[in-house]
């Protein structure tokens, strides 16, 4: 088991990535805004993605450039096995806690 801890925002972003097969930063932000009804700045999202990647919960590949992106390539993120595992662990811990209430 990976010993890295994970924060609430990191957990949210990780879950959003897990919902999709492949996703880039801009789409994470859209989903975050749509699902949670909160605003956040893009650099904040990207820095969380980078952090998760460094902790080994995400991997990324460079995608294609589109005109919508002004000719810039996108980076696509995927959850790793460790990422999925830690999300499940957190959920299991939560369920255990809830069942006692």
Partner 1 sequence: MTKFPKWASLYMSLFCDSEIQEELEGDILSNYHWRIENNQRVSARLHFLRDVLFSTRFMFSRNSSAASLQLLLSTFTIYWRNIKRNKVAFLLNIFGLFIGVFCFLAIYSFHEFENSYDRQYTKADQIFRIEKVEYDLEEKRVTGTSYLLPEFVANQIAEVSNMTGVINMRYDRANLQYPKGNPWHRLTLTLAKPNFFEVFDFEFLEGSPDDALTDTNRIVITESTRRKLFKENDAYGKVLYVNEKPYEVSGVILFPENTHFEFDFIINYEVMFSTDFWDKEKLATDWHYADFIFHYAQIPHGKEKEVIESINRLYAKHKHEDKPEADFQLHSVSDIHLDESTDWELSENGNAYFVQMMMILALIVIVLVAVNYSFINIAQTSNRIKELGLRNILGSTNTNLLSIIVIENIISISFASVVAALAILWLPDNLPLQLPITIHPEMLLTLKSTWILLGLILLLSLLASIFPMLLIQSLQPILALKGRIASRFGHFSLLKSLVTVQVMISLGLIISMIIFHRQISFLMDKDPGFAVQHIGYLERYDRGDNRPSYEAFKEELLQIPGINSVTSSAQIPLRWPAGNNYELILKGEEEGVLCSRAWIDYDYFETLEITMQEGRDYSKQMTSDTNAIIIGASAAKQLGLDDPLGKTVKIFFRGGAIVEEKTIIGVVEDFNYRTFHSQIMPHYYMLAPNGPVITINFADIHNQQVHEQIQTLWPSYSPNEAYNFTYMENHYEKQYQSDLAQRNAIFILAGVVLLLASLGIFGISSFVAKKATKAVSIRKVLGARVSELYIQQAKQYVIISVISFLLCMVPVYLIAFNWLQGYAYRIVINPMYFVTGLAIVILIIVAVVTGNILKIATLNPVNTLKDE
Work out which of 1, 38, 72, 81 binds partner 1, going by CB under 8 A. 72
Structure tokens at 55: 């902790």
Map residues 6-45 to x or -, x wherever contact with partner 1 holds by CB under 8 A. Answer: ------------------xxx--xx----------xxxx-
Q: What residues have CB less than 8 Å from 74, skipping those under 6 apart?
A: 24, 25, 26, 62, 63, 64, 65, 66
Task: Catalog residues that contact partner 1 under the rule CB under 8 A.
Answer: 24-26, 29-30, 41-44, 46-47, 50-51, 54, 65-75
């Amino acid at each position: 088991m990976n010993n890295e801890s994970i924060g609430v925002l990191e957990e949210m972003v990780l879950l959003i990535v897990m919902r999709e097969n492949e996703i880039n930063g801009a789409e994470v932000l859209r989903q975050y805004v749509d699902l949670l009804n909160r605003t956040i700045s893009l650099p904040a999202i990207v820095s969380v993605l980078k952090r998760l990647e460094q902790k080994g919960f995400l991997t990324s590949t460079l995608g294609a450039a589109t005109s919508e992106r002004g000719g810039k390539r996108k980076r696509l993120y995927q959850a790793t096995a460790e990422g999925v595992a830690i999300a499940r662990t957190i959920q299991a811990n939560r369920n255990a806690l809830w069942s006692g209430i």
